[in-house]
Amino acid sequence: MTNTKRWLIGGASASLVLVGGLSVAASVVAKRVAPYIREQAIAYMKTRFAGEVELGSLQVHVPAGMSIQSLLRPKGTLAHVEGENLVLRQAGRGDGPALFLLKRFRFEIDLGALLETPKRISRVTLEGMEIQVPPKGERPEFTKRESAKAGVVIGEVLIRDARLVILPRDKSKNPLDFELREIRLKDAGKDAPMRYSAVLTNPKPPGQIHSTGTFGPWVAEEPSDTPLAGQYLFENADLGVFSVIAGTLRSTGDFAGTLASIVAKGEASVPNFQLKSVGHPVPLSTTFEVLVDGMNGNTELKPVIATLGSTQFTTTGFVVKHIGDKQRTIFINAKIPGGNLRDALRLAMKGEPMMEGKLKLNAKIGIPPLAEKVKEKITVDGAFEVKGGRFLRSAIQTKLNGLSHQSQGKHGGEEVDEAVHRMSGEFRMADEMITFKTLAFSVPGAAVNLGGVFRVGADELDFHGALMLEAKLSETQSGWKRWVLKPVDPFFSNHGAGTFLHIKVTGSASDPQFGLDRGGTSPAEEAEKKSR
């Protein structure tokens, strides 16, 4: 064998030994480093969140081809760390609900940084995380202590497929549950807020909420006091998933507060808002300020200023909501100081609006869970007033014009004011039916006071009350009829009216039928009896 061959064989053997030795060395380094990183990871979580930590598994992978220089001077050599089944519980409550549940996590760390303080990690990726926030005040009593600094600085945290669960104080109620598709947290240092960008999946109405802002610093003694602030965009949300309403929602705004209490300000618009049972789209836009109780989902409206078509109104009230709880209800006080009656009727009634005028409304609205049947839906108790009203359906207006002519003793082609000078009433809407405690209106020369029911779905009227004419009964007629009726005028004059008649109104809103109601009464007469 020549010397050259011996050198080649010897060199190759040495290389194999060196590679093998480096591989063994890398394995030894990984085995030595893994327990240290595990210990540091658990210490970080304990210190950062003042809790008890359980870690299922942790593996450390270092480059198989590490050089001798890397072994002697590890700075610049990255170790890949993977872990599974991390659980963080409240300190002193090992059997209590977990604050964090984490299926998987991974990050890279410079081996040289293990000997530094603080230790720096550029990015940590978390997958399958569940965050559970306990009710305010339910953490155990313990003496506060000055914790040593966590000693770790994380540049960025990437969270995928997470859930935020807010536990209710009432154990019989379901928790609030939010799906967090992706969140990026930056500058996650101790005692400083983390900047974040997030994509949240909203279940109903379906859509994605994009949000940016700050979160933290984490308040270990009371997690619900952890600060939260940011801006959001929620668009292309389909309201058609609900059984009663339809439309496409877009909303933007900002918010600030804590996990327990958040104040949100913003605006929302639904250009095609409608009630499914009616099918008339009307543009709806709002500006709002709301106070959200993050621990139970209750929302206080403070107030909401909305525009329906061309009509502006304000609402205040509460949204009592628990995800999965059938007792979710919305309570609203609505005020319309001077709106367009057409807008309200177009939203609420089938067919074209039957009347126009200037609307004043004060109402209390209750909206039970949107998963229930339509007839169990919206309830409205209120009082309204219409000025300068005019019926747009010719059959109704023609009959009122004739009534106005006769009540003033006018005949032939004499002109008469066609406006309904004033209409007012008190009502309750429920089960697709509007019950009027009182419904009063006047036209020139006549006043009507009614009470009764309008069945919206069936378009049926059933009203009873009184008709008061300025003219005497005989004056409503002409020719020989006028002279025949003069002797009976005193029998029909009552309550300060020239003619007082009990009437009923039946038929439909498009074709009402007026008739005498012998033995009937009116809401005004009933109120007079009660006051005696």
- Which pLDDT score is estimated for 250? 92
Return the number of other C-beta atoms located less than 10 Å from residue 174's C-beta. 14
Distances (CA, A) of 220 to 103, 112, 137, 262, 280: 22, 31, 12, 19, 52
Read off φ and ψ for residue 105, nearest 5 degrees.
Answer: -150, 155
Q: What's the full length of the chain, in residues? A: 532
Distances (CA, A) of 97 to 88, 159, 468: 9, 21, 71
How buried is 142 (Cβ within 10 angstroms: 0-12 exposed, 13-18 middle, 19+ buried)? Answer: exposed
pLDDT tens, position by position, 150-166: 567 788 888 888 887 77
Local structure of 170: helix, strand or coil? coil
Longest CA span, the chain: 152
DSSP label at residue 354: S
Contact predicate 364/382, CB 8 Å: yes
**110 vs 122: CA distance, rounded Å:** 10
**Predicted pLDDT at 436:** 93
Distance (Å, rounded) from C-alpha 260 to C-alpha 269?
A: 27
Q: What is the pTM of this model?
A: 0.64
The pLDDT of residue 95 = 65
Residue 124 makes CB contacts below 8 A (sequence gap 6+) with 105, 106, 107, 154, 156, 157, 158
Q: How far is CA 42 from the centre of its chain?
A: 39
**Grouped pLDDT means (10 residues each) for the chain, 532 residues:** 47 40 49 72 74 83 58 67 86 69 88 75 88 66 44 82 78 72 74 82 80 83 83 89 83 89 91 83 90 73 88 84 56 88 81 83 79 59 89 62 58 54 87 88 83 85 89 72 73 79 85 83 82 71
pLDDT at residue number 472:
79
Structure tokens at 465: 């009350």
**Among candidates 401, 397, 383, which has minimal Cα distance to 354?**
397
Is residue 194 within 8 A of residue 182, CB to CB? The reply is no
Extended strands (E) in 221-281: 227-238, 245-246, 248-258, 261-275
H-helix or E-strand spanning residue 210? strand 207-215
Closest CA to 266 of 239, 292, 286, 237: 286
